[in-house]
Amino acid sequence: MIYHLAPTAQRKIWGGKNLEIIKKLPHVANAEPFGETWEISVHPDGPSFHNGKALVVQDRFEELTYLVKLIDTGDALSVQVHPGDEYARLHENSSGKSECWLILSAEKNALIYLGMKDGVTRESFLKGLENKKNMSEYLNSYEVMPGDFFYVPAGSIHAIGAGITMAEVQQSSGITYRVWDWNRVDSKGNPRELHVQKSLDVMNFDPKANTPLHFKIMHNLFSQAGKKELIEHPTFKFSLVNLAKYQSIEIMIPEQKRLASLLNLHGKITVNGETIETYSAALFREESKLIITSLEDTSFLFLE
């Protein structure tokens, strides 16, 4: 069975304009912009929907341990970090949160911040917080372009800058610790809650864990034809598939508890004869083989 999914859309103080356009979301005057759509999710904070009902894992033989989003930024996200599984289970009754980013579009000079600069220690970072420094200056920054990929393991400090639209694949967790928020306030003049102590508890200051190699950075992925595996994590494995117009690919779905899914990023496709539009997602149950045909030049994520 192919479950065509509709997302939960979330407004954010830092949201942009693209999601409203590409997802055909309702425009509401003076409302916060849309920052995220949770495209493939059973998380209670933002489930996907099938035939108007929230997606659920049906029985003990199925699981959906990952979550897939589209993210669009009109302003920078907070400088933040996510805990690993052990800390999250102990303190949040949740799994941890490692995530991956695939850049879909980016304004000129758009940046992401990922990992500590050389020489930054827990002590120097804490001193910067106490002295009300701009904490992004302690982080490595990367100018991004479409087709760039970044792995953000739990414990990695990061922030997504303004002017970026991306697909994010992550563990099915909503745990985020904000350590600094650009001195930003909401419409009522209130700053968002920070989680400095928890951030410091889980932040990885090891120099080897703050390098491009550790973050598995790749470039120009949309120019690479065919199916390319991007990463395999204990809770998700996914590939990017680029097909030319009218090209087909056959993908076998392994027998496993974790359900497979697809997020179409560009171009219309058919999957076992059913059409999936651009920026649409589908989940697969009791399907052992997918025959996917592009009706135009196409890129999609396949998750298993």
Query: Which sequence positions are flagged as catalytic?
Result: 178
3-state secondary structure of 124: helix
Which of 149, 150, 71, 75 is CA-nearest to residue 110?
A: 75
What is the C-alpha separation between 124 and 130, in angstroms, rounded? 10
What is the C-alpha separation between 286 and 51, in angstroms, rounded? 18
Buried b (16+ CB within 10 A) or exposed e, 220-233: ebbeeeeeeebeeb
Query: CA of 93: how far to CAs of 41, 58, 175, 196, in Å?
Result: 18, 22, 10, 19
> Which residues, in sequence order, are CB contacts of 70 under 8 Å at separation 6+?
7, 19, 22, 23, 36, 37, 39, 104, 165, 166, 167, 168, 279
What is the C-alpha separation between 163 and 75, in angstroms, rounded? 7
What is the C-alpha separation between 57 and 116, in angstroms, rounded? 38
Helices (DSSP H) in 23-142: which residue ranges? 85-92, 122-130
- Judge contact between 7 and 68, C-beta under 8 A: no
- Judge contact between 158 and 71, C-beta under 8 A: no
Helices (DSSP H) in the chain: which residue ranges? 18-22, 85-92, 122-130, 196-202
What is the C-alpha separation between 48 and 65, in angstroms, rounded? 14
Sign of the Cα torsion 295, 296, 297, 302 reads: negative
